[in-house]
Amino acid sequence: MTQTLDIVVVGAGMVGAALATGLGQAGLRVALVDRAPAPEADTRREPDLRVSALSVGSEQYLRRLGAWSGIEQQRLTPYRRLSVWDQTASPLSALGRTPPRTTFSAAELGASHLGHIVENRVTQYALWQTAAGQDSVTLIPEDAIVAMTEATDQVEVILESGKRLNCQLVVGADGGNSRVRELAGIGISRDQYQQQALVASVRYTGPVQDITWQAFYPSGPRAFLPLHGDGPESWASLVWYDDPAVLAELKALPEDQFLARVQQAFPADLPPLTALAGRASFAIARQHASQYVSGRVVLVGDAAHTINPLAGQGVNLGFQDVECLQGLMREARRAGDDLAAPHRLQSYQDQRRPANRRMMLTMDAFYYLFSNRLPPLHLARNLGLGLAQRLPFARNQVARYAMGLAPETPPGLAGLLSRLPRPGFIKSQKGS
């Protein structure tokens, strides 16, 4: 039997589930399809291995959707300070001086916090609940898109189960290996970074910290993201970027040896570690769809763009995509227009593609600047960090961009980006 809807959203990750909620609230009839089972409430004390730094901009969006309270009812950890420094050995270390460090602080911005670290399963569960709460949203878990046929005024989606869905618009929110993108014949450019990221959930002695930090080594950054408390101890997510061979060796170590290696390799700021709940490594790639729109198909989130997770911006950009798209769909419905009217979809692409590209280039600039052993670059980044610490105005502009509160790259940063060469990648590929 064929079901008729306004929009089919394929992929109910954090981005797709947010979009379905927003479209449902606008009165649109939506099907939200995911090949995974519906997420369940999780009461385990150990954190999910996958966590995201959600910006204040994302928090505001999720509050407007009504999903933030669902996150608060589970758990989240605010961070009020963010510190970045260069840990490369330098003439300064020989003099016993600590390398320059830039610390962004909520207090300096007159804000209560800079963002929150939230486990992905917490955000996804809260968003599934808000999507399920909309009368006009049909959730279809454990099913996947296999084919799509476009006609002049509609598109038919065929699912693995044999279900058929007719709609005006299909949204690909199905992640980096998007099947919707492939079925629509949209090409991508993909560059795989030389580094991979090892993520570990660890417990440490002491209260929950209100700081997230990232120390840059020539082999890649090492980062600390605070999570919830657990009695006299607390949880954190650690990220170690390095050569894949180094990470493979680390992953194979028994728990006690792994913790000892991390303790010794991370900066002294890392509190004493007591337990490991999980670890996994991820290949990191930069990927950008050549277009976000084709006929009656539109891409959002990682299906459209995957960026270096260095500054934790991926899902934050995805939320900006869907807020933009849901606004345009609301206008289209009000005007009685076809939801796939080319001028509206083009407007979405024109607003989101350049903004996402700017953030990708910013991440590349950091990757290049900090993964480099060249002495002039070493000096430049230390001077830059020292200067940033002494210039609160510039520092606050960067903080507002990272918090998702300022859409444009700060001018100084934009100038730097235009002058830096492209970083080294191990594999590059262009799709159809």
Cβ distance to ligand FAD smaller for residue 99 or 312:
312
Give the C-alpha distances (Å, rounded to integers) separating 29 from 9, 50, 138, 392.
11, 31, 8, 48
Cβ distance to ligand FAD smaller for residue 315 or 360:
315
Cβ distance to ligand FAD smaller for residue 99 or 317:
317
Note whether 142 and 35 are within 8 A (CB): yes
CB of 387 to ligand FAD, least distance (A): 26
CB of 49 to ligand FAD, least distance (A): 9
> Which of these, 170, 19, 86, lies nearest to 370 by C-alpha position?
86
Cβ distance to ligand FAD smaller for residue 16 or 220:
16
> Which of these, 158, 155, 178, 64, lies nearest to 339 by C-alpha position?
155
CB of 120 to ligand FAD, least distance (A): 6
Cβ distance to ligand FAD smaller for residue 199 or 363:
199
Cβ distance to ligand FAD smaller for residue 171 or 345:
171
CB of 232 to ligand FAD, least distance (A): 27
CB of 317 to ligand FAD, least distance (A): 7
Cβ distance to ligand FAD smaller for residue 199 or 340:
199
Positions that interact with ligand FAD (CB under 6 A): 10-16, 33-36, 52-53, 144-145, 173-175, 179, 197, 199, 282, 301-302, 309, 312-316, 318
CB of 105 to ligand FAD, least distance (A): 19
CA–CA gap between residue 220 and residue 225 (Å, rounded): 16
Count CA within 13 A, CB hemisphere, residue 355.
23
Contacts of 234 (CB under 8 A, 6+ apart): 203, 204, 206, 207, 208, 209, 226, 227, 228
CB of 103 to ligand FAD, least distance (A): 19
CB of 8 to ligand FAD, least distance (A): 10
CB of 93 to ligand FAD, least distance (A): 29
CB of 264 to ligand FAD, least distance (A): 22
Count CA within 13 A, CB hemisphere, residue 372.
21
Cβ distance to ligand FAD smaller for residue 35 or 261:
35
CA–CA gap between residue 148 and residue 36 (Å, rounded): 20
Cβ distance to ligand FAD smaller for residue 13 or 24:
13
Tokens, residue 21: 């909620």
Cβ distance to ligand FAD smaller for residue 281 or 397:
281
Cβ distance to ligand FAD smaller for residue 58 or 102:
58
CB of 184 to ligand FAD, least distance (A): 13
